[in-house]
């Protein structure tokens, strides 16, 4: 399904506003280099492709069928895929259990089971794998920033939330491994997907957005094993009773008791997010595969106030501690820093600090055994902070074995440097709270891994 050598689009269309047209166009635009077939009952030729009346007429091995036709025709089309020995199917069509059409969805499930044909959806966006250029998403490309190739795999029940996150990842420096939107989960569900991603070497971090869990026992089984292999960040929608009712109307999901689910997530080392923004904050630090040895954080800053706010955020995380600088580090810093710099943690380098002062501070803190993680605050509005400081941060990250993140808050000039640092694998945060929360999550996960081998 993710790396098909041949794809058929069932419901491909000449009309630009049709989903089947957008999907075909996206395959062409993405430069997909496998075999591409189209099926449409009426059209003889679509965008240069010969159109077959049925998948049974193609007479070639098909790895993936993308089905984008009205709901009532879907079970029959899937039946034909089964007979034609198609290897997998993605049903993007909506109009099933999410609007109460349970019988039609059951019919679809029965066909998938009868032919043992892995079927994703219905009511979903399908899959995207930037490495294989396989992309079933029916979204206009000009509206979406396309993500780079990377290590984060994103699993979303909801199509729109998925595409939103995909767009956000496109604006970030880190890249995407797989995107999987599974909608109503009539056949393939979150348990199957987690099983696959757990063993996928291209995936370093799994980000999971779910509305309901269908196979509770099997979910617990995979949950018990997966965090020991790679981190899973989870955002559950329908955490409140009002939200659960809304979720049921959306993907027919039964949201269940969130307190129980959250307890399970935490017990098995999942990183629990409470908002969409947190998914990205966590993804960007976990994908670096940095792991801290302890919970003691050092802060260097070129703005005193930002240092104070970050200290508050660290102290109120409930997990992290402010590191006590070693005597040796203090000695080194007292020599290398200007008189105005008060040698303590947070270390305020003052607003005129440039790359040399940052460099000297990083060197000193980097070898301090009392420090497990480092937040470097670089406020690019100050007179001393420039691209050389950003370059120094990237250089330092490759030299130290301590997790290091940057906190840079601001508009254009700052954003330019953020993208530059993130593209080099250095996570950059835009608020003290998100920085502290992310380090706290990283530490908590590392501790989980150390005690659950």
Site residues for its own copies, 244-283, by CB under 8 A, read 245-247, 249-251, 274-277
Least distance (Å) from its own copies to the CB of residue 452?
A: 29
Alpha helix stretches (DSSP H) within 287-386: 304-315, 327-336, 355-366
CB of 434 to its own copies, least distance (A): 8
Are the beta carbons of 184 and 119 closer than 8 angstroms? no
- The nearer residue to its own copies, 359 or 381, going by C-beta atoms, is 381
| Half-sphere exposure of residue 21: CA atoms within 13 angstroms, side-chain side | 11
User: Between residue 13 and residue 32, which ones bind its own copies under the rule CB under 8 A?
Assistant: 17, 22
Please, what's the b/e burial string for 185-219 (b: 16 or more CB within 10 A of its CB; e: otherwise)? bbbbbbbbbbebbbeeebbbbbbbbbbbbbeeebb
Of residues 302, 283, 252, 290, the one with CA closest to residue 98: 252
| Number of Cβ within a 10 Å radius of residue 321 | 14
Among 28, 254, 260, 315, contact with its own copies (rule: CB under 8 A): 315
Q: Which of 50, 112, 132 is nearest to 9 (CA)?
A: 50
When the beta carbons of 98 and 129 are compared against its own copies, the nearer one is 98
Binders of its own copies among 125-154, rule CB under 8 A?
A: 138-140, 142-145
Shortest spacing between CB 82 and its own copies, in angstroms: 28
What part of residues 386-415 is at the interface with its own copies (CB under 8 A)? 409-414
Distance CA 321, CA 177 (A): 34
* 381 contacts its own copies (rule: CB under 8 A): yes
Residue closer to its own copies by CB (options 199, 342) is 342
Query: Could you give the CA distance from residue 48 to residue 384 in angstroms, rounded to a whole number?
Result: 58
Residue 396 and residue 366 in contact, taking contact as beta carbons nearer than 8 Å: yes
Neighbours of 405 (CB within 10 A): 27
Q: Which stretch binds its own copies (CB under 8 A): 162-170, 357-365, 387-395, 396-404?
A: 162-170
Q: Does 364 bind its own copies (CB under 8 A)?
A: no
Binding residues for its own copies, rule CB under 8 A, total 84
Using the rule CB under 8 A, which residue among 84, 86, 161, 193 binds its own copies?
Answer: 161
Q: Considering the rule CB under 8 A, would residue 240 count as an interface residue with its own copies?
A: yes
Binding segment for its own copies (CB under 8 A), chosen from 31-39, 73-81, 301-309, 356-364, is: 301-309
* Residue 35 found at the interface with its own copies (CB under 8 A): no
- 416 near its own copies, rule: CB under 8 A: no
* Candidate residues 34, 118, 170, 294; the one interacting with its own copies per rule CB under 8 A: 170
* Residue 157 in contact with its own copies, rule: CB under 8 A: yes
Beta carbon of residue 366, minimum distance to its own copies (angstroms, whole number): 21
Helix or strand run (H / E) with residue 437: helix 432-451
Contacts of 274 (CB under 8 A, 6+ apart): 235, 239
């Amino acid at each position: 399904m993710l790396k098909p050598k041949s794809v058929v689009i069932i419901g491909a269309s000449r009309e630009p506003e049709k989903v089947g047209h957008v999907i075909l166009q996206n395959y062409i635009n993405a430069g997909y280099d496998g075999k591409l077939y189209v099926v449409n009952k009426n059209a003889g030729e679509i965008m240069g492709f010969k159109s077959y009346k049925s998948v049974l007429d193609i007479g070639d091995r098909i790895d993936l069928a993308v089905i984008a036709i009205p709901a009532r025709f879907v079970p029959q089309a899937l039946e034909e895929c089964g007979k034609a020995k198609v290897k997998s199917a993605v049903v993007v069509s909506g109009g099933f259990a999410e609007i109460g059409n349970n019988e039609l969805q059951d019919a679809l499930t029965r066909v998938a089971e009868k032919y043992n044909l892995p079927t994703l959806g219905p009511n979903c966006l399908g899959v995207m794998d930037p490495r294989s250029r396989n992309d079933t998403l029916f979204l206009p490309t000009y509206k979406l920033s396309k993500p780079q190739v990377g290590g984060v795999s994103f699993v979303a029940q909801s199509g729109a939330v998925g595409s939103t996150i995909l767009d956000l990842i496109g604006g970030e420096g880190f890249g995407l491994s797989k995107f999987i939107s599974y909608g109503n989960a009539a056949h393939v569900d979150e348990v199957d997907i987690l099983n696959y991603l757990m063993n996928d070497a291209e995936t370093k971090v799994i980000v999971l957005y779910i509305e309901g869990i269908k196979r509770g026992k099997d979910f617990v089984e995979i949950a018990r094993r997966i965090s020991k292999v790679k981190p899973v960040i989870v955002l559950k929608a329908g955490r409140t009773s009002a939200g659960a009712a809304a979720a049921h109307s959306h993907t027919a999901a039964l949201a269940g008791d969130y307190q129980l689910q959250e307890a399970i997530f935490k017990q098995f080392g999942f990183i629990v997010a409470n908002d969409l923004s947190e998914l990205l904050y966590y993804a960007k630090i976990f994908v670096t595969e940095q792991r801290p040895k302890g919970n003691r954080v050092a802060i260097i800053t070129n703005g005193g106030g930002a240092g104070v706010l970050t200290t508050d955020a660290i102290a109120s995380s409930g997990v992290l501690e402010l590191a006590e600088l070693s005597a040796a580090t203090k000695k080194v810093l007292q020599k290398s820093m200007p008189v105005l710099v008060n040698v303590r943690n947070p270390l305020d380098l003052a607003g005129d600090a440039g790359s040399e002062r940052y460099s000297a501070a990083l060197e000193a803190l980097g070898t301090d055994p009392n420090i497990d993680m480092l937040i470097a605050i670089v406020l690019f509005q100050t007179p001393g902070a420039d691209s050389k400081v950003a370059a120094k941060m990237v250089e330092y990250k490759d030299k130290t074995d301590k997790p290091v993140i940057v906190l840079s808050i601001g508009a254009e000039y700052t954003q330019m440097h953020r993208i530059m640092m993130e593209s080099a694998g250095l996570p950059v945060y835009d608020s003290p709270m998100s920085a502290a929360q992310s380090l706290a999550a990283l530490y908590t996960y590392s501790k989980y891994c150390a005690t659950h081998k």
